[in-house]
Amino acid sequence: MIGGFIDDHLVSVVNIASSQKDRLSHKSDIGISVLKEFWNMGVGSSMMEFIISLCRKDNFRKIDLLVNEENERAIKLYEKYGFIKEGLLSRDIQIDGVFYSSYHMGLKLD
């Protein structure tokens, strides 16, 4: 887990997970969150650039993530860095009794 700070305040968190199984060890799964009051300040872009460079340094060949299909801001950010939609998971998230689908997005690093 990696934190993004502005003036000693935690404003963003990124998590990276990977498997130790040989057949899955070439890829990482990531998640990213930015506090709403820090949107449109480049925080998400900075975190994405850092995480992509870290994954390249660690020789991952692919990065995967899930994003709520209605989160257009996040989808736009991911597409800006080359992620593509690879699938749709129906009823993936439940919030207050309402189901939402998630896009599975991926970025090939080679």
CATH number of the domain to which 21 belongs: 3.40.630.30
Per-residue pLDDT of 26-73, as tens digits, reads 999 999 999 999 999 999 999 999 999 999 999 999 999 999 999 999
The total of structural domains in the chain comes to 1
**Residue 66 confidence (pLDDT):** 98
Domain enclosing residue 63, as ranges? 2-108
- Report the percent of the chain where pLDDT is more than 70: 100
N residues, the chain? 110
Pull the structure tokens for residue 21: 């199984």
pTM: 0.91
Contact 47/55 with Cβ under 8 angstroms?
no
d(CA 73, CA 8): 26
What's the mean pLDDT in 80-102?
A: 97
d(CA 63, CA 27): 6
Q: What confidence tier does 9 reach under pLDDT thresholds 50, 70, 90?
A: very high
Q: Cα 77 vs. chain centroid, distance in angstroms?
A: 9
d(CA 74, CA 81): 11
**Residue 81 confidence (pLDDT):** 98
